[in-house]
Structure 1
Amino acid sequence: MTGAVVVDHPLVRHKLTLMREADTSTASFRQLLREISLLLAYEVTRDLPVELVEIDTPLTRMKAPKLAGKKLVFASILRAGNGLVDGMLDLVPSARVAHVGLYRDHETLQPVRYFFKAPADLSERLVIVVDPMLATGNSAVDAVTELKDAGAKDLRFLCLLAAPEGLARFAEAHPDVPVVTASIDERLNEHGYIVPGLGDAGDRLYGTK
């Protein structure tokens, strides 16, 4: 699928299988999502720019690489996106966090906005938008549009699962935003859920259903 990078690491595949299982507990699902988010974050940040700085080791002075530029922004599509952001912050604790409040109307399958809060200087930062599921693509498209309207210019989208329909919709709306995912599943069902999928990520993360 053009524009999508699938993280095909054995640990990612293993943890995703455990998350898919219907009898995985809320606590285990939450922990697995936190763990897998670290591995996905590693991939989506692979090409961050670095600069050489002089440091003192216990033995000598040397030039060594450090991240260059302003801190990253992790933009969570509420509420399930927080499950990914929590783990990603373990890897990049200095990152800023934006929140985009969207929920899907189960009748129309369209996103409904209810909250937006982000750093003021988005135009100067890499923004990584996160949501466990890229299903219909409507919420992802809407969130990225809102972030662009707020000034973001350099964006990436990170998800746990993607459906071909959602990837196509997202690529059509935002061809400039690369997608990183753990799996591209078969399809959407008549209710807009990813098949085989893992159910509603938010409900399984927070034990609300």
Structure 2
Amino acid sequence: MMQEHLTIVRHPLVQHKLTIMRDKATSTAGFRQLLREISQLLAYEVTRDLELSTRLIDTPVCEMEAPTLKGKKLALISILRAGNGLLDGVLELIPSARVGYIGLYRDEKTLQPVQYYYKVPDELGDRLVIALDPMLATGNSSVAAIDLLKKSGARNIRFLCLLAAPEGVARMREAHPDVPVITAALDERLNDKGYIVPGLGDAGDRMFGTK
């Protein structure tokens, strides 16, 4: 389903895998593997309209002008730590992508992001930049990450997440209306602790087996 600024990927395999991930009985290993698999499916959507050029190649039969990706290698930016779960799967499909990391954690009292690390590829202004974070909850960390990327020159940015809350989508639309959000599901709301409901808990804790 596509709306202005927001795309929800309704593919049956995406929705099936997401249901298993939501189940609290799913093991850490199972959750991690499913996140890798679902990220590959979501990657097809977020890269659907990549620009193409052509180059001359020799097939076993003849020469042909064949399609190939155009421009600089795209940049995948993992918003630590949970973003690494999406990163691994997307990298399997686009192994030539450049990779960056933004370290943010959420202050549990204020729900505001605190930065602790930032390392991104050069020439972001000439690349498609895909920011990766499984959860778009309050949107505060996501907005802060996009702010940093734009300060580094990024102009063509997309945000890929597994789950989104209406509050987070609205916050992103308000702060960065030029950044499309691609997700597997738009859930009901946030609870008083800033967690997505029904959600799947803390994606980082479930992926790494921490509390």
Q: Same fold by TM (over 0.5)? A: yes
| Aligned residue in 2 for 1:92 | 94
| Aligned residue in 2 for 1:194 | 196
- Alpha-carbon offset, residue 78 of structure 1: 0.2
Identity %: 67
Q: Deviations for 1:53-103, whole angstroms, at most 9, x for unmatched residues? A: 111001111111000000010001000000000000000000001100000
* Unaligned 5+ runs, structure 1: none
| Aligned residue in 2 for 1:125 | 127
| Aligned residue in 2 for 1:185 | 187
**Amino acid of the residue matched to residue 63 of structure 2?**
R
| Aligned residue in 2 for 1:68 | 70
Query: Equivalent of 1:176, from 178, 183, 186?
Result: 178
Distance 1:106 1:17 in 2: 27
Distance 2:180 2:186 in 1: 14
Distance 2:154 2:134 in 1: 21
| Aligned residue in 1 for 2:10 | 8
Distance 1:177 1:170 in 2: 8
**Amino acid of the residue matched to residue 184 of structure 1?**
L
Distance 2:104 2:86 in 1: 16
Query: Equivalent of 1:23, from 22, 25, 35?
Result: 25
- Alpha-carbon offset, residue 142 of structure 1: 0.1
Q: Deviations for 1:2-43, whole angstroms, at most 9, x for unmatched residues? A: 310000000000000000000100000000000000000010
Distance 2:62 2:122 in 1: 40
**Amino acid of the residue matched to residue 203 of structure 2?**
A
Give the SS at the match of 1:147.
helix
Distance 2:54 2:70 in 1: 9
Distance 2:161 2:147 in 1: 17
- Alpha-carbon offset, residue 206 of structure 1: 0.2
| Aligned residue in 2 for 1:103 | 105
Distance 2:54 2:73 in 1: 17
Distance 1:46 1:191 in 2: 35
- Alpha-carbon offset, residue 127 of structure 1: 0.3
Give the SS at the match of 2:53.
strand
Distance 1:38 1:120 in 2: 25
Confirm or deny that 1:141 pairs with 2:125.
no
Q: Count matched residues.
A: 209
- Alpha-carbon offset, residue 52 of structure 1: 1.3
Distance 2:78 2:140 in 1: 15
Confirm or deny that 1:82 pairs with 2:97.
no
- Alpha-carbon offset, residue 140 of structure 1: 0.3
Confirm or deny that 1:55 pairs with 2:35.
no
Distance 1:202 1:98 in 2: 18
Distance 1:33 1:156 in 2: 19
TM (norm. structure 1) is 0.99
* Unaligned 5+ runs, structure 2: none
Indicate the larger mover: 90-99 or 1-10. 1-10
CA-based RMSD of the aligned residues comes to: 0.6
